[in-house]
Structure 1
Amino acid sequence: MGKRTLRIQLTKPDQDLGSLVGQEAHVITWEGSTFFGDIRFASNSTLTIEDKNITRFNRRRHRHHVALTDIREIIVDKATKW
């Protein structure tokens, strides 16, 4: 990984992620799936990510609701405060 990225590993399922709302992130699950987009909602049990689609292909913004227990790590840019 680059020097400008911050890797957040979820060690506790009740970890507070409210400060990540509105930031662009990569979310990697234990299954190996990766989601990229803006974090729209974070609670004690789920994280909601809105895709960043290319408008010429798809104008819709898909939202993914991922349980915190399924998330392996969240990667955000260090330039944004966490």
Structure 2
Amino acid sequence: MAFNPENKNIKKALQKNEAAQMPKPKDSIVIPVFTDKEERTKNYTFSLQPSIRKRLDSLAKEHNFKSASKFLNELIKNM
């Protein structure tokens, strides 16, 4: 064998490399899970490209949200 697997220094070095390769949570987008917490909302107007709106609607439906706005709200809240 090329090295002794019982060597604690080698184990530490390997664990440090694994931890360094893991992506940071802030670098990835986490898709929210639908929760039925009701909070009063206020209407806002903003623009989206039609293709983005279609994708937003499909993502909301795919993740069991009642509307695209609730999905977007949870997505932003969880960032």
TM-score normalized by structure 1? 0.22
Q: Which has the larger strand fraction?
A: 1
Higher relative contact order (CA 8 A, sep 6+): 1
Q: Which structure has the larger Rg?
A: 2
TM-score normalized by structure 2? 0.22
Q: Which has the larger helix fraction?
A: 2
